[in-house]
Amino acid sequence: MFLHNRYEVIEILGEGNMGKVVKARDTQLADEVAIKEIILSGNVVELEQKIKEHVKYLRKLKSKFLVSVYDVFTEDQKLYIVSELGSNQTLRQYIKLKLSKADREKLAVAIVKAAGELHNDGIVHGDISPDNILIGKDGEIRFIDPVLLPPTMKDEIAHGLGISGTAKYMAPELFHPANTPTQRTDVYSVGVVIFEILNGHPPVEGKTFLEVAFSATQFDINVENELCPQGFSQYLVIGVKKALQRDAIQRFGNCEKFYNYLCREFQKFRSKKLLKFVLAISSAVVLTVILIVIGINFVEQRRRGYWGDIVDMPSEQLLSLRDSAIIKLSNIGKAPFYLRQSKNGNGLFTCNAHSPYMSFIRTDGKTATIGSKITLEPWHCQDLAYIGASKVLLTDPVDNVVLLLDLGNNKILHIFSNSVATRYFLHPDAIVVTGDGKKAIIGNWKGGAITVINVKKEIVEKVIPVHGGPSGIAITPDGKFAFVSHTEVRYNPQSNETEGVVSVINLSHNNVIKEIANAGKASSDIKILPDGQTAVTANQRGPTISFIDIAGMSKITDLNLYNGSPVDIAVSQKTPYLFVANYNHPFIHIIDYRSKQIKVVLFSKSFGRESNGISLSPDESLICITNTAIGEVVCTANPFYSLEKTEM
């Protein structure tokens, strides 16, 4: 088969809705080339003219990192672009291989370097995505298909001129038709590509072009929250975060500067490693002593039946629980998350993030049993908040909706959902309701925004952009302010460290009035103490809890919880104690919030299986936590149950 009476087709390299790409031999020059076929639609004459003019421009571009374009012609309502024959393997195909963490980091840096070379040659690609990056057998990286049309126009054309998913790699400003690609928009696209290499999926998701556009332009990306737990190098994570800033001015000026930053920070990283190595060699004797101590500690922990991170924990604070002291409630559901007390005082509810039902746990004194399951099919839930005696609002992070449920007859009364034009919810997580029941406040964990619902009118009042990963919400007793904790930390260039923040929202005006700095790291929950004057955050990456002065809107102090991973807090209304669950450590910390000191630490091998929620039973005789990883709720007796409220 011949095309244009010149190119002999050898084989098909790829095929899709837009057309196909073939390998061919140029009979005039005896060279092998790649020919991309584009099926034209819409205003064919105008599109053809635009593409031909742009190809003329592309033929002038010269870079060893860019596949050259040779020719363009049309036949039978199809347009063909003839280019240099590069590697057959795209980055999208390559990253499907099982790459180690180190290989993924090296690949990410190599792509930044290649894009930096393009920018150094004065070239703006305009459409960087895994489909437009080729990986050679020797690891050489080359880019194909510089933008032929503005990316927004690509998604509007039914069967051609674009690559599926291009919108997910577009910088937010390109969703405005008046803006054109720049080196800064390339930086953003490279940041998305690196995020996908490291995390397995692009940071901005959406089923339609409008959903992607709304997410990209309205919500910040939780880079550190997604990548830090996986152990990727901090300098690379911070670089990706800077590349993915919604404000173009906050990004690197071009990919060459991006690459220079990575090289500079990598050298610092290597210097630190070298220093640590030298110190390790010079401290061999000290390390030997430490190893002996650890060995003794290991024997002690084995005697207790557990080897864990109990570092510097005073032995008088640690209380090991026997198996007989533990109540295990299995088969609760897939991924039980938070625990909330029932209004009638006879038990606890837990939402199952990956099962279409809620589970009720009946508590009676110091016993707990699995009660009824409330079907939500086809919906799911992660958190709940009461409105009145029998109605609850549920967050559904799977379907990105909020449900209003009547518990009395198990009937869904209303569904708050995203509209075609506006996205109100993106992984809705924690939810709280004001004391008068008029407003509900929802944290969009992946969206970096707070959604305010008018419960009576059943409408969304406002979406408030906040810092990334809003996970915990607490409303002041007067109902005027909401304090929001965030699992995502932010980079402080002055200290060259990451820090956590707590956002303060004025509920009368629905706006953020302050961000309390250095308030823990990766704070997944926040609660207000009974005095109404102090808030407490659980900081997974502290591992600390932070005490916040509500009136002054400032941090009071941090309390170190040793090597725990505090994730959720329960506050006693009868005694002056906090109960803190740890995500992946087998402890429950009990804190005296008056003295801000640890009272006792409960230890059991049954705790800490990706625990996400903790609650006291309504009469406070039991402490219960969720083990999300294994679909289980575990309860034990509250050792301070007999104390009277007068102790407060």
For the chain, which domains are there? 2-84 (3.30.200.20), 91-269 (1.10.510.10), 315-647 (2.130.10.10)
pLDDT digits (tens, 9 = 90+) for 16-54: 666 788 889 998 887 888 888 887 776 667 777 777 777
Q: Give the model's confidence band at 279: pLDDT under 50 very low, under 70 low, under 90 confident, else very high.
A: low
> Is residue 531 scored above 50 in pLDDT?
yes
The pLDDT score that the predictor gives to residue 46 is 73
The pLDDT score that the predictor gives to residue 272 is 61
Tokens encoding 76: 């039978």
136-150, 310-324, 492-506, 577-591: the lowest-pLDDT one: 310-324
pLDDT digits (tens, 9 = 90+) for 399-413: 889 999 999 888 999
Strand partners, 44: none
The pLDDT score that the predictor gives to residue 155 is 40
Q: Look at residue 229 and give its three-state secondary structure.
A: helix
> Is residue 465 scored above 60 in pLDDT?
yes
> C-alpha angle 599/604/608, rounded to 5°?
95
The pLDDT score that the predictor gives to residue 556 is 94
Tokens encoding 313: 């924990």
Phi/psi for 155 (5° steps) reads: -75, -15
The pLDDT score that the predictor gives to residue 420 is 65
pLDDT digits (tens, 9 = 90+) for 415-425: 998 876 678 88
Alpha carbons 195 and 635: distance in angstroms, whole number: 39
What integer is the mean pLDDT of 90-101? 86
> Is residue 148 scored above 80 in pLDDT?
no
Q: Pairing between strand 577-582 and 566-571? A: antiparallel
The pLDDT score that the predictor gives to residue 593 is 95
126-130, 149-153, 492-496, 597-601: the lowest-pLDDT one: 149-153
Q: Look at residue 535 and give its three-state secondary structure.
A: strand
The pLDDT score that the predictor gives to residue 150 is 38
pTM, full prediction: 0.57
Tally of CB atoms within 10 A around 88: 16
The pLDDT score that the predictor gives to residue 161 is 31
122-131, 248-257, 311-320: the lowest-pLDDT one: 311-320
Q: Give the model's confidence band at 275: pLDDT under 50 very low, under 70 low, under 90 confident, else very high.
A: low
> Is residue 291 scored above 90 in pLDDT?
no
Alpha carbons 527 and 482: distance in angstroms, whole number: 11
Alpha carbons 378 and 398: distance in angstroms, whole number: 10
The pLDDT score that the predictor gives to residue 303 is 41
Q: Give the model's confidence band at 286: pLDDT under 50 very low, under 70 low, under 90 confident, else very high.
A: low
> C-alpha angle 323/328/332, rounded to 5°?
165
The pLDDT score that the predictor gives to residue 301 is 46
> Is residue 154 scored above 50 in pLDDT?
no
Tokens encoding 524: 């997944």
The pLDDT score that the predictor gives to residue 156 is 38
**Chain position carrying tokens 């010149």:** 6
Q: Give the model's confidence band at 153: pLDDT under 50 very low, under 70 low, under 90 confident, else very high.
A: very low
pLDDT digits (tens, 9 = 90+) for 551-579: 999 999 999 987 688 999 999 999 999 99
Alpha carbons 333 and 347: distance in angstroms, whole number: 17
Q: Look at residue 555 and give its three-state secondary structure.
A: strand
139-148, 189-198, 362-371, 391-400: the lowest-pLDDT one: 139-148
> Highest mean pLDDT range out of 198-202, 317-321, 443-447, 465-469?
198-202
Mean pLDDT taken over the chain: 83
The pLDDT score that the predictor gives to residue 483 is 96
Please say whether the beta carbons of 460 and 417 come within 8 A. Answer: no
pLDDT digits (tens, 9 = 90+) for 314-344: 555 788 898 889 999 998 888 899 999 998 8
211-215, 288-292, 601-605: the lowest-pLDDT one: 288-292
Tokens encoding 451: 């959604």
Please tell me whether the peptide bond between 378 and the residue prior to it is cis, using omega within 30 degrees of 0: yes
The pLDDT score that the predictor gives to residue 529 is 96
The pLDDT score that the predictor gives to residue 566 is 92
Please say whether the beta carbons of 603 and 586 come within 8 A. Answer: yes
Please say whether the beta carbons of 350 and 613 come within 8 A. Answer: yes
115-119, 147-151, 587-591: the lowest-pLDDT one: 147-151
Q: Give the model's confidence band at 514: pLDDT under 50 very low, under 70 low, under 90 confident, else very high.
A: very high
The pLDDT score that the predictor gives to residue 290 is 66
> C-alpha angle 120/124/125, rounded to 5°?
120
pLDDT digits (tens, 9 = 90+) for 183-206: 999 999 999 999 999 988 898 877
The pLDDT score that the predictor gives to residue 413 is 93
52-61, 168-177, 500-509, 599-608: the lowest-pLDDT one: 52-61
